[in-house]
Amino acid sequence: MKITVLSGAGISAESGLKTFRDSNGLWEGHDVMELASPQGWRANPALVLDFYNQRRRQLLEVSPNAAHEALAGLETRHEVDIITQNVDDLHERGGSSKVMHLHGELLKVRCSKFHDDIKLWKKDVNLGDLSKNGHQLRPHIVWFGEDVPLIPKAVEIVSRCEALIIVGTSMQVYPAAGLLNYAPVDLPIFFVDPKPAIASGGRIQVIAETATKGIPTVVDLLN
């Protein structure tokens, strides 16, 4: 069976990663646009680099959880594609082999001018760290106001899957939320959320649990 997983911050939170964005729209006391937009980068690149350096250091201290590992286990019997809004590598470290990061990857950097100049990077990024073209390196993160280049590929994956799992995300952040519009009409959907805003009905089965409890349940149902 072709299974697609749409994942968000909630699955990583159980590994100890902060979700950063508070209910008031602030990240670590800063307006989100200061830390995650081209305008913020131009205004204060040192602040932006420091923010992502802290995130990167924290990521290297945490490990995948039971939800990541259960999704990886699905690959023994199914064809599994994970489309994640997360910028961490916990799906990969948990054992999943096909992971698409819609919003970029924290353990990569890219040239601030030539965006296809990307490299792996696990240490801090500092002002003065330059790409091979002589331009400042920046986080390989899709910021607000920037294109999400992998959306067409994600649409293709969702349109041909046979079951869909949504975990750790309310699917209210666009363009990712629009992916549901491309799912086959008779597709079974499993929605894992400890505080679901929707109820089971029709093709949607809601599992009102955290990711580490709910995903193993879904895996059992699919196997």
Q: pLDDT digit of tens for each residue in the chain (223 aa)?
A: 999 999 998 999 999 987 665 555 556 677 888 999 999 999 999 999 999 999 999 999 999 999 999 999 999 999 999 999 999 999 999 999 999 999 999 999 999 999 999 999 999 999 999 999 999 999 999 999 999 999 999 999 999 999 999 998 867 766 777 898 899 989 999 999 998 877 788 889 999 999 999 999 999 999 8
**Amino acid 177: pLDDT:** 77
**Amino acid 28: pLDDT:** 64
Helix ranges (DSSP H) in 18-89: 32-35, 38-43, 45-59, 66-73
Structural tokens at position 79: 């064809």
Alpha carbon 64 to its chain's center: 14
Q: Kindly give, in sequence order, each residue whose CB lies less than 8 Å from that of residue 10, ignoring residues fewer than 6 positions away.
A: 19, 167, 168, 169, 193, 210, 211
**Amino acid 21: pLDDT:** 58
Per the CB < 8 A criterion, the answer to whether 127 and 137 are in contact is no
Round to whole Å and give the CA distance between 97 and 66.
16
**Amino acid 199: pLDDT:** 78
Active site residues: 103
**Amino acid 120: pLDDT:** 97
Round to whole Å and give the CA distance between 218 and 191.
9
**Amino acid 20: pLDDT:** 61
pTM: 0.92
Q: What are the backbone angles phi and psi of residue 83, rounded to the nearest 5°?
A: -110, 110
